[in-house]
Amino acid sequence: MRAGKRRPVRGAVSQPKPRYAEAWLEAEELAEEAEYLAEPARRIVQENDSPDVPFRLSINPYRGCEHGCVYCFARPTHAYWDFSPGRDFETKIFYKPNAPELLVRELSRPGYRPSPIALGINTDAYQPIERRLKLTRRILEVLSQARHPVSIVTKSALIVRDLDLLAEMAKENLVAVAISIETLDRELAMRLGPRAASPEQRLRTIARLAEAGVPVGVMVAPVIPKLTEHELEAILARAREAGASWAGYVLLRLPWELREVFMDWLRTHYPDAEGAVKRALLEMRGGRLYDAEWGTRMTGTGARAELLAKRFQLAVRRRGYGEPPLLACDRFRPPLGEQLALF
């Protein structure tokens, strides 16, 4: 399958109308430069009741993501503020400057009971602007001081900046990290997520975390039928060699406007694959491009989806993968009141 010649600087090649917007003016040119917009939050710890994810609490210091991954399931959330899930999602980046202070207050509430917090589960907590703002690091500092368990999923090598905090938390079974890898093909990875770390950088990040004693796994996500699904076993093999100790996978999800964003991207960069990818998705999603049904939305349905699941199960057994750690919740201590002064 031959890709186009132009090296993209952004992921999305289109700007679909947000589903809630009453009026929408189509821009003549798509934005290239990112804007960073402060968005003070009223609450920073969010609760989740989905049976498909292994966490109840989450923190997202950023909304939108400059990595620009064209398949990102979080893109449609930009529509809630009348921004397009297309190019806007990766060029209109909102950040929560008061996130660390709010976290101290929330962890200090009378009767608070700790449960592992998923950090950056909607958009990557280690996206490029984190180098300057350091919101994620400051959040980790609060969690570390409070001995609060946290899990992180990222595709950024920037996480190694915080090895000092992560390694200390790992000694008390307070942290687990998963590195997301969707392909080992450098060119394909660059087109899927132009500003994310390369596959080799992600593998090196797994190695750095493992060497520091931080429990680390790999998420093969998303698996894109006909485009990356043949790489499943190879990704699992390379990640295990690098030091990953557990693994998971997620089938490509295309909710709401993301269907248009992804198909426009596919038509632009891999036109020869468009029909095959679409047919495979329809086969694995019950005749639709996306099925939001709990229990199957992450893995799909039908014979092709079942085969993918069996391939995954066989590969993790052969490579000796285990289960992710159960993080400790009994070490928690509420933040000291004077910690508020640190912010």
Q: Could you report the per-residue pLDDT of 209-256, keeping only the tens digit for each?
A: 999 999 999 999 999 999 999 999 999 999 999 999 999 999 999 999
* 15 belongs to a structural domain: no
* 2 belongs to a structural domain: no
* 27 belongs to a structural domain: no
Give residue 203's domain range: 35-342
pLDDT at 21: 87
- DSSP per-residue letters across 255-282: -TTHHHHHHHHHHHH-GGGHHHHHHHHH
Q: What is the mean pLDDT of the chain?
A: 93
Is it the case that residue 44 has pLDDT exceeding 90? yes
The 10s digit of each residue's pLDDT in 67-121 is: 999 999 999 999 999 999 999 999 999 999 999 999 999 999 998 999 999 999 8
Is it the case that residue 135 has pLDDT exceeding 80? yes
* 10 belongs to a structural domain: no
pLDDT at 4: 42
Is it the case that residue 3 has pLDDT exceeding 60? no
More confident residue, 296 or 340: 296
pLDDT at 23: 73
Contact predicate 215/177, CB 8 Å = yes
The residue behind tokens 């997301």 is 180
pLDDT band at 1 (very low <50, low <70, confident <90, very high): very low
pLDDT at 339: 47
* 7 belongs to a structural domain: no
* 121 belongs to a structural domain: yes
Give the chain's domain count. 1
CA distance 168 to 173: 9
Is it the case that residue 6 has pLDDT exceeding 80? no
Is it the case that residue 2 has pLDDT exceeding 60? no
* 142 belongs to a structural domain: yes
pLDDT band at 52 (very low <50, low <70, confident <90, very high): low
pLDDT at 337: 54
Is it the case that residue 32 has pLDDT exceeding 60? yes
pLDDT band at 336 (very low <50, low <70, confident <90, very high): confident
pLDDT at 158: 98
CA distance 254 to 297: 10
CA distance 156 to 196: 6
Is it the case that residue 143 has pLDDT exceeding 80? yes
CATH number at residue 270: 3.80.30.30
Alpha helices in the chain (DSSP H): 87-91, 99-107, 130-133, 135-145, 163-171, 186-192, 199-211, 232-242, 258-269, 274-284, 302-319
pLDDT band at 34 (very low <50, low <70, confident <90, very high): very high
Average pLDDT over residues 288-316: 94
Residue 340 has a CB neighbour count (10 Å cut-off) of: 13
CA distance 24 to 1: 35
CA distance 326 to 40: 32
* 201 belongs to a structural domain: yes
